[in-house]
Amino acid sequence: QVQLVESGGGLVQPGGSLRLSCTASGFTFSTYGMSWYRQAPGKEREFVAAVTSTGYSTNYADSVKGRFTISRDNAKNTVYLQMNSLKPEDTDVYYCNARYLRWYKIEYDYWGQGTQVTVSS
């Protein structure tokens, strides 16, 4: 029943921009923190950005600060990742994550299927 459907990935030139979207269903979206991770072949999954359930606070990996912006629209059950000034190093599969915490412990943790972002000339 729980679904996280990602879209917006593709091929872009260095310095270009791309916006990823993740639309959720099957759970109460507005009570979950949302985040984006990325993973290159043969590498560990890496944290990219996160936004709290209400959208009042965000956090970013150092590698993307100043270039990426995470946001959410709870009315649309959607989280976004606006990626600007893209670099070849940003080439990865990007995953959407939904997480519910209770007493600071993970109670529910859902992942999308991933969407490919390729930054290349």
Task: Band the pLDDT of 105: cuts 50, 70, 90.
Answer: very high
Mean of pLDDT over the chain: 96
pLDDT tens digits, one per residue of 5-58: 999 999 999 999 999 999 999 999 999 999 999 999 899 999 999 999 988 999
So what's the pLDDT on residue 34?
A: 97
- Which residues are CB-contacts of 60 (< 8 A; sequence separation ≥ 6)? 48, 49, 50, 68, 70
Rounded Cα–Cα distance for residues 71 and 53 (Å): 10
Model pLDDT for residues 4-17, shown as the tens digit of each residue: 999 999 999 999 99
Q: What is the DSSP string of 47-105?
A: EEEEE-TTSS-EEE-TTTTTTEEEEEETTTTEEEEEE-S--GGG-EEEEEEEEEEETTE
